[in-house]
């Protein structure tokens, strides 16, 4: 297992990301401050791994020119905990093609085909910037299965969070 955390001086990631891939089970990402402005599509990507915890972090991402903006993306994972983080996401409010199972362009937490996901005690603020598309959509938490292979999301728990979502067209706090 890998622990990515602050030691004695506050750890700060400016315009950088953490990517956790297969066989990284037991990883803990904690007590880190993330800041990104017009540089990254996401701050943390969890892809095909198990038993991972993201806790006590401050994540701030803003994109005025990049289409995709997500603080945390979880893809095809299991036993993931997102606990006690402060997340601020500001991005473009673009149209979403729900028929094609595409994700929204701006969300704070985006999880696809992830089982046993716990999102607890976070403060999540998701907002738009710039001019919105006609059906521009912003979502704070976006939880989806995969319609192409009929795989569903299993055992997701979203509890004790403060969720603030703002858009000038369509805003959703939690989408399943």
Number of neighbours of residue 7 by Cβ within 10 angstroms: 7
pLDDT at 149 exceeding the cut of 60: no
Which pair of tokens denotes residue 101? Answer: 């199972």
Distance in angstroms (rounded) separating the CA atoms of residues 147 and 105: 18
pLDDT at 148 exceeding the cut of 70: no
> Each residue of 71-105: pLDDT tens digit?
999 999 999 999 999 999 999 999 887 776 577 89
pLDDT band for 38, please (50, 70, 90 cuts): very high
**Collapsed DSSP state (helix, strand, coil) of residue 56:** coil
pLDDT in the model for residue 147: 52
Q: Write 149-152 long-range contacts (CB < 8 A, 24+).
A: 151/113, 152/113
What average pLDDT score do residues 10-22 get? Answer: 92
> Each residue of 49-71: pLDDT tens digit?
999 999 999 999 999 998 899 99
Distances in Å between the Cα of 22 and the Cα atoms of 15, 76, 78 are 24, 10, 11
Let me know the angle formed at the C-alpha of 15 by 13 and 19, rounded to the nearest 5 degrees: 70
pLDDT in the model for residue 6: 87
Which pair of tokens denotes residue 146? Answer: 């995969």
pLDDT in the model for residue 106: 95
Distance in angstroms (rounded) separating the CA atoms of residues 51 and 94: 33
The count of residues in the chain is 176
- The pTM is what? 0.93
User: 12 CB contacts (<8 Å, ≥6 apart)?
Assistant: 32, 33, 34, 35
Distance in angstroms (rounded) separating the CA atoms of residues 89 and 107: 7
Distance in angstroms (rounded) separating the CA atoms of residues 10 and 114: 31
Let me know the angle formed at the C-alpha of 109 by 124 and 120, rounded to the nearest 5 degrees: 60
Number of neighbours of residue 61 by Cβ within 10 angstroms: 29
% residues pLDDT > 70 (the chain) = 93
pLDDT in the model for residue 54: 98
């Amino acid at each position: 297992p890998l622990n990515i955390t602050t030691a004695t001086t506050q750890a700060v990631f400016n315009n950088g990301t953490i990517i956790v891939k297969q066989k990284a089970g037991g990883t803990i990402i904690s007590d880190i401050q993330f800041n990104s402005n017009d540089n990254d599509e996401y701050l943390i990507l969890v892809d095909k791994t198990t038993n991972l915890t993201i806790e006590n972090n401050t994540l701030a991402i803003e994109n005025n020119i990049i289409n995709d903006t997500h603080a945390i993306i979880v893809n095809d994972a299991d036993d993931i905990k997102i606990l006690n983080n402060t997340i601020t996401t500001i991005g473009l409010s673009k149209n979403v093609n729900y028929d094609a199972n595409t994700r929204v362009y701006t969300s704070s937490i985006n999880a696809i085909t992830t089982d046993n996901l716990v999102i607890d005690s976070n403060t999540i603020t998701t907002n738009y910037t710039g001019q919105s598309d006609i059906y521009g959509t912003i979502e704070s938490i976006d939880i989806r299965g995969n319609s192409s292979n009929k795989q569903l999301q299993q055992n997701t728990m979203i509890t004790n969070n403060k969720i603030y979502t703002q858009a000038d067209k369509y805003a959703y706090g939690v989408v399943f």
